[in-house]
Structure 1
Amino acid sequence: MAAPLALLLGISLALAPPLAQARSLRFVTLLYRHGDRSPVRAYPRDPYQESTWPQGFGQLTQIFIRSTDYDRTLMSAEANLAGLYPPQGQQVFNPNISWQPIPVHTVPDSAERLLKFPLSPCPRYEQLQNETRQSAEYINKTRQNLEFLEMVANQTGIRDVSLESVWNVYDTLFCEQTHKLLLPPWVTPDVMTRLKQLKDFGFEFLFGIHQQMEKARLQGGVLLAQIRKNMTSAANASAPQHLKLLAYSAHDTTLVALQMALNVYNGRQAPYASCHIFELYQDDDSNFSVEMFFHNESGREPFPLTLPGCDQRCPLLDFLRLTDPIIPQDWVRECQVASNVQDTELIVALAVCGSILFLLIILLLTVVFRIQSQPPGYRHVSNEGEEQP
């Protein structure tokens, strides 16, 4: 019985339709925050000024793709590339150095319009921020923490500590604490906890609280538009496919701006080296899908992120449809304040009318001048007007 059974099984397998093509990873986009660094600045009464940090302010501590034009993000990019792509075969130029040079692309800080947030200049965004400052949530948060903010101002020597600037104090103290420096007596665990909470509120102020979707169009939506463009290009069978991985080396505000635009922000500052991952797959039915992950803790696997309105494995067309509302169509125009747009149109209209009027006046003066400049011609005098002899 065994032989006929085996024969039937073989025939069945031979007649069965071929297995569908396996799901394959086609393209990956990484957006990560730089690694551990020294403080960006010290507060006036800080016992640890720049001389305390051998590498200076705002620099990475252990190590000296597109990246923003900051040492810490450029260095993070190089470090990550060194780990991802050790030299092999002909790439090894020195057997004692397990590293190969890989270019990192950047633009001057003044020209950065993709990775440094908040993006500016954008008058409409500034108007939204002024409106946010008038919101009940912002006013109540300020009132609840007024005495605490005044205490921080007195202890640090900073003249004005607000919900928007307090993150600088927390950041400096956090860096000093991380590097085992003794903090001043006023910096108790409760103070650090409260500073952290206010710092997290400051991130929400930048990209949410009031008119979050419009803020997204003016901020994180700009970066998301580029990410969507890259994924769409990777899914286009007719386009030449060269890139498999694209990495952005940036900042915590970059991650917050993007995640607030996607409405997947967890309300907490992204730790050093946190990474938001986009994976584009070609499914077994030849369609494409997008999966997102967030890696924010060493030693643990990235946890999945789900775009609201879609599954974690989101069809690419659904991903594009759901994110369309936060993609700016004309960022420069959307950044203009409505009254400014109307004023601009009025000014243009007045300028056109003024130009036409000026031309008409010139034409009229020209005609008058030509008439007056003509010499007098012969004049006929009637016989009736002559005197009789």
Structure 2
Amino acid sequence: MSSYLLILLLYVFDQAFGESQLKLVTVLYRHGDRSPVRAYPTDPYQESAWPQGFGQLTQEGMRQHFELGQFLRKRYTGFLSEPYTRYEIAVRSTDFDRTLMSAESNLAGLYPPNGTQVFYPGLNWQPIPIHTVPQDEERLLSFPLSNCPNYIRLMNETEKTAIFLNMTKTYGDFLEMVRNKTGLESTSIESIWSIHDTLFCEEKHGMTPPDWVTPEVMSTLQLLKNFGFQIMFGVYKREEKSRLQGGLLLDQIIRNFSAAASVNPSGPLKMIMYSAHDTTIVALQEALHVFNGVQPPYASCHIFELHQDNESFSVEMFYRNDSSVAEPYPLTLPGCAQRCPLQDFIRLTRSVIPTDWDKECTVNTHSSDTDVIIGLAVCGCVLLLLVMLLFIVLCRQSEPSIGYSHVINQSDDHS
């Protein structure tokens, strides 16, 4: 009898104090399969070879995101309402056709209409709002942000590091071969991703590659492309780069979690969805120091979950980069457990969160001001010396002559 009571008490205690409650989910994903962004000069497949042109979501990309939406529906059944409820989800996309269409395809899988939400018989789809901003105003989802002088300085310094110089030297002949074969004016580690991207897209869609594109060439292109992704946000001064790039998005995610964990949360929001790019995921994962060094594949998805345990909150992260695997891979923030207490999560990521992005993007503001002051002082001194020299010259010209002077005899001039 006593053992039965003990078991009952333990069960009640576990139900009252041990159950975790999911509070908010944030998902960031890359768009689905697309046509190449551009073609190289000697490419036999120019833009006319693609039904919708360059950089556009393909039907395969639509299917990939429809499947991801179905995965999210299954994973969060019981958390998200089955019918679409506008208060529960907020969707933000970059202002590109492929990311907007990926979000639409994803939401079609996440919220198939039923009952009164079916507005046209036989159409298993309903419109759900997706928000965006003009590309030149995007500072949350499109990285790297190029209008940041300090980031440009860091990238210039990265190109002078031993690892970068070694890669450039090791693959110099290969880069020159690619330049000759493609007809490009130049090739570099930073730009080689575009060649791999074009060839990858063409191969994926059954287009025969040129003779020079062997499996070994594709393997080397992929290696250099991945290295290019790594140096954008890591390898050298990762934290400084992250403060200027992925830290902006991480800061927003943390703010959203902090609001959801407040005593009076702002509302019934349950999911925030970001539709973006491979560089967005890399920038965020480098800020978190969990990037695996490989370009995120199409429709890959980084998931954040905010859980509540009694009065405490914790964050769990997962990465879905392989749709053939049933469950996404758990990610662990360095220095914390896989289920990381929210306050520890905030503390451990503080070093990559910008406090004033505009100010931090300025190159050596203090040093520049000092240089300007010194320069002005030097110019002032030179100008003062010139004024003094001019004054002395004028004074000497105006003084009466006290030495010998020849007096002209007018009569002699006439004679």
TM-score range, shorter chain: 0.7 to 0.9
Aligned-pair distance for 1:241? 2.4
| 49, 56, 60: which one aligns with 2:57 | 60
- SS for the counterpart of 2:28 is strand
Q: Please say if 1:287 is aligned against 2:283.
A: no
TM-score, normalised relative to structure 1: 0.84
Aligned-pair distance for 1:341? 4.2
What amino acid sits opposite 1:53 in the alignment? W
Q: Please say if 1:216 is aligned against 2:242.
A: yes
- SS for the counterpart of 2:349 is helix
1: CA distance, partners of 2:164 / 2:11 = 65
1: CA distance, partners of 2:134 / 2:269 = 24
| 278, 286, 296: which one aligns with 1:260 | 286
1:207 is matched with: 233
Aligned-pair distance for 1:219? 0.7
Aligned-pair distance for 1:237? 2.4
- Aligned pairs, number: 344
Q: Please say if 1:174 is aligned against 2:204.
A: no
1: CA distance, partners of 2:335 / 2:121 = 52
- SS for the counterpart of 2:16 is coil
| 315, 320, 326: which one aligns with 2:341 | 315
User: Over aligned residues, Cα RMSD in angstroms?
Assistant: 2.3
Q: Please say if 1:36 is aligned against 2:33.
A: yes
Residue 10 and residue 90 in structure 1: after superposition, are their counterparts in 2 closer, same or farther (change >3 A)? Answer: same
| 180, 195, 214: which one aligns with 2:221 | 195
How do 1:97-246 residues align onto structure 2 when only pairs under 5 Å count?
Answer: 97-246=123-272
Aligned-pair distance for 1:20? 1.3
Aligned-pair distance for 1:24? 1.1
Aligned-pair distance for 1:89? 2.2
| 331, 337, 344: which one aligns with 2:363 | 337
Deviation sequence 1:167-224 (CA, Å, 0-9, x none): 0000000000000100000000000000000000001111112111101111111110
- SS for the counterpart of 2:317 is strand
Deviation sequence 1:308-330 (CA, Å, 0-9, x none): 00000101111001001110000
Residue 347 and residue 88 in structure 1: after superposition, are their counterparts in 2 closer, same or farther (change >3 A)? Answer: farther
Unaligned runs of 5+ in 1: 352-389
2: CA distance, partners of 1:11 / 1:196 = 60
1:298 is matched with: 323
1:385 is matched with: none
- SS for the counterpart of 1:233 is helix
Aligned-pair distance for 1:91? 1.2
1:49 is matched with: 46
Of residues 341-350 and 85-94 in structure 1, the stretch that sits farther from structure 2 once superposed is 341-350
TM-score, normalised relative to structure 2: 0.79
2: CA distance, partners of 1:15 / 1:73 = 49
What amino acid sits opposite 2:32 in the alignment? G
Aligned-pair distance for 1:347? 6.2
Residue 109 and residue 12 in structure 1: after superposition, are their counterparts in 2 closer, same or farther (change >3 A)? Answer: closer
Identity of aligned residues (%): 58
Of residues 237-246 and 118-127 in structure 1, the stretch that sits farther from structure 2 once superposed is 237-246
Unaligned runs of 5+ in 2: 64-90, 377-415
Runs of 4+ in 1 over 3 A off after TM superposition: 8-19, 340-351
What amino acid sits opposite 1:277 in the alignment? I
